[in-house]
Structure 1
């Protein structure tokens, strides 16, 4: 394994294990999310800073707020890992959320979107809101089954990208159609993949083909149907401009590394595959804002789903 990739893998696992020891009542996917956040910002985990940020969140939001109900430690880590003062960060998140609350109900997904935006400097929140609303409304005209608590987050994540194409909705429709009718994917899975692929370079057909070639080579149709959230970051990885042969080779090496790490046996094969994708994305494209926003969104959703089954 490449030395830099090995270093990233080792730090990620060490941080995850340290979090597990210090937060014995936490969910493992929550620890994975926090380990990733600090890995992305290239910082050592600061437990005191996380505690301070948790207190700021408790002070700033009501008891029923999504920020306090769903994964408060992840939210706290998102603040603590940046160089932004906690109170200033919260102020940014509230300002962003205020824009979206004009059209959409308050929910945990919107909360995550607001915190993600708050961690990115120099954003025009009003412009992002109108861009996301335009994408959502155009998609709503085409797909009446859309829900505002899920799809507005996808549209918002797209709107956060500085390189969004003007014809993004047309491309979304083409990719959605290909994934559903040619590859027989579930509607929700196809739509999520389409949103992610909209931020990748290439034509719609090429991006879909590369994505499905990689996903099909590393997962079963049953796993994709039951746990599709674990198989969406593959889309970004497959379309980074790196040869598929190299990706698959590195992917196997990372999977082998994770398989033999102490304490990693508690994770399912699907979870290990997700973590391998995250590590390779940080290796191939470090400091990518786009990748950070989507990785956090996926890890948060999986951790949230875990809480519903505890």
Structure 2
């Protein structure tokens, strides 16, 4: 089987049979398209028959990524893609054995996520609220996005997937669809509800009117041209507002998710509750936030305790 055909069938399988999210499917496609581009340049014969793809050929591509200065996280993700693709090839007997089985994933760099202080976020949201009350549609949307991301700690992919039926303003809850198409109910507070109400009653209507195609989108958050807002669009919006805050590190939507989770734990929330709110299937994924809280505790101890 030709490589392009195999990639196409693999993507259909992970989307329709495995139920992976559109975001995950796109990530697989991007990785495999880059892998195919590498093979076209260095190992053109493999394009005609996937059975000729070997462990050495895969390692050659990964080495090239390393030479290009790609991060450990990027290389690890590409290895995971190759392993999933190789397993699929083996299950369909397109190769004798999964050539990616022996690929070694680089050790993760254990860096703590960036966390923004509670007072900093409070001041940021106050400024965004003032801008939103001035009446500009984009400002109202941005205010609602940052309030909701911080209040609910949802992922950016979950945010852009929200539709009219997913928000319950009366009960202050969201119905979000997370990884593996798993749905969960997430609470949010009165400030986020007020920001959403302002946006839904004014800003969203203004943005929807700019859709030249004349098609009404059921998505809650819209772009400046009236279409559904993309994950990259949310990233740009959040980064624009976070860049003025002190401290280095990531400035995207995940920073608000990290901050919300850490602030919940600092406020006394149980780890299991935070796990459920974040949509983590494994408690170990949530425990990184306890490390952040512990680090802050240690810093406070050193600064405040007379015998530190």
TM-score, normalised by the number of residues in structure 1 = 0.26
Q: Determine which structure has more spread, i.e. the larger CA radius of gyration.
A: 2
TM-score, with length taken from structure 2: 0.26
Higher relative contact order structure (alpha carbons within 8 Å, sequence separation ≥ 6): 1
